[in-house]
Amino acid sequence: MNRQLSELSASELNEAIDDTNFPQSHAMSRQRNSSVCSTSSNSAVMGLSDSVRSLSNLENELQVDETQTCKDQSNNIENVNDANPRSKPIGFMRREHPTTLLKMNGSVEGKFDVPGTPKTPRTSTTPGHENCTFHHDLELDHKPPTREALLPEMARSYRLLLGSLGEDPDRQGLLKTPERAAKAMLFFTKGYDQSLEEALNGAVFDEDHDEMVVVKDIEMFSMCEHHLVPFYGKVSIGYLPCKKILGLSKLARIVEIFSRRLQVQERLTKQIAVAVTQAVQPAGVAVVIEGVHMCMVMRGVQKINSKTVTSTMLGVFRDDPKTREEFLNLVTSK
């Protein structure tokens, strides 16, 4: 059995490995297949000894053969061992190969130049991407689209709508209607691109004033989100300052921000009140909206004289009936 590796057949090599790993089961298998029990047992023991010696010789031969290769690659191995002490050659059938290390979050440690892989994932906090409306973290060449960039797709949608109604989008009166309608819808919903900070523009002033401030009958135009038809009306806003006042025109601009969106009047009323609260931290805010909804006037029940009134009271306007009554009297007076 003391032969070179090249002289061993595949069956002999497998038998040696099997005897080493499973000596008892292999000996029992030989015993069952032999007609003379004692002879088979002795043969199994002798075969096992020879197999173990053969396997030991194979290990020594492989280690000798690897000596020169290890010397030639000593510098590389030392560098790998310094970076990863576990990646050392430790013998036949037990060599550990250097593997890619995974961090705890599942990402691969190291740099991989794979086409299409973002070098730095973008987030809404990445400089230059704070105001991205249509933001996506995995886009490589991300450029936030302007609202004007939406016009072609919106115009195609309106053209399809006209065709679905049985109209001819190519006739003279409708030739430019899809583009006009797209521009009009962008104007109706321009509040999506506006923020409270931009509207205020720093117009918050320190002032020792704690009496009620009311701006009433602010015109409002919005779009019903249920039917995409307009509703319009008037907004009245009152607040009790706490050493800070807001530029009067800014109240109207706050109305414009939230009304120029797809809305319902109930939510619009509350959004205006919350925005004023965020702007000047007053003792209280009151908002009343009186609106006419075209979804009730020109369709459905078709009640042309109906009006919808909603209110939101925060702070002292909710807690103090006299303060609330004073505000309502000022709003309803002519």
- Same domain as 164, residue 237: no
Q: Which residue did the predictor score with more confidence, 96 or 166?
A: 166
- Same domain as 322, residue 201: yes
Query: pLDDT digit string (tens) for 71-84?
Result: 554 555 445 445 44
Least confident segment among 87-101, 286-300, 310-324: 87-101
- Same domain as 54, residue 169: no
Helix (H, G, I), strand (E, B) or coil at 122: coil
Residue 299 has pLDDT above 70, yes or no: yes
Answer yes or no: 295 catalytic.
Answer: yes
pLDDT band at 149 (very low <50, low <70, confident <90, very high): confident
- Same domain as 224, residue 325: yes
Query: pLDDT digit string (tens) for 178-202?
Result: 999 999 999 999 998 889 998 999 9
- Last residue of one domain, picked from the residues 137, 168, 188: 188
Does some domain include residue 21? Answer: yes
Catalytic residue among 135, 142, 209, 227: 227
Q: What is the pLDDT of residue 146?
A: 76
Q: What is the pLDDT of residue 120?
A: 45
Does some domain include residue 175? Answer: yes
- Same domain as 198, residue 178: no
Mean pLDDT of 13-33: 46
Does some domain include residue 95? Answer: no
Query: pLDDT digit string (tens) for 228-260?
Result: 999 999 999 999 999 999 999 999 999 999 999
Q: What is the pLDDT of residue 251?
A: 96
Residue 53 has pLDDT above 90, yes or no: no
Residue 117 has pLDDT above 60, yes or no: no
- Same domain as 57, residue 11: yes
Catalytic residue among 226, 266, 278, 325: 226
- Same domain as 321, residue 210: yes
- Same domain as 270, residue 178: no
Residue 27 has pLDDT above 80, yes or no: no
- Same domain as 201, residue 170: no
Please tell me the total count of domains within the chain.
3
Average pLDDT of the chain to the nearest whole number: 74
Range of the domain at 205: 194-332
Answer yes or no: 226 catalytic.
Answer: yes
Answer yes or no: 24 catalytic.
Answer: no
- Same domain as 164, residue 202: no
- Last residue of one domain, picked from the residues 28, 53, 72: 72
**pTM reported for the whole predicted model:** 0.58
pLDDT band at 52 (very low <50, low <70, confident <90, very high): low
Answer yes or no: 135 catalytic.
Answer: no
Q: What is the pLDDT of residue 121?
A: 47
Q: What is the pLDDT of residue 148?
A: 82
- Same domain as 220, residue 162: no
Does some domain include residue 12? Answer: yes
* 109 Cβ contact list (under 8 Å, min separation 6): 100, 101, 102, 103
Answer yes or no: 293 catalytic.
Answer: yes
Catalytic residue among 224, 256, 263, 271: 224
CA 57 to mean position of chain CA atoms: 60
Catalytic residue among 256, 263, 265, 271: 265
Main-chain phi, psi angles of 80, to 5 degrees = -65, -40
Main-chain phi, psi angles of 232, to 5 degrees = -145, 165
Catalytic residue among 139, 281, 295, 326: 295
Q: Which residue did the predictor score with more confidence, 2 or 287?
A: 287
Q: Which residue did the predictor score with more confidence, 268 or 102?
A: 268
| CA trace torsion 320, 326, 332, 334 (10° rounding) | -170
Helix (H, G, I), strand (E, B) or coil at 255: helix
- Same domain as 224, residue 163: no
- Last residue of one domain, picked from the residues 31, 52, 72: 72
Answer yes or no: 129 catalytic.
Answer: no
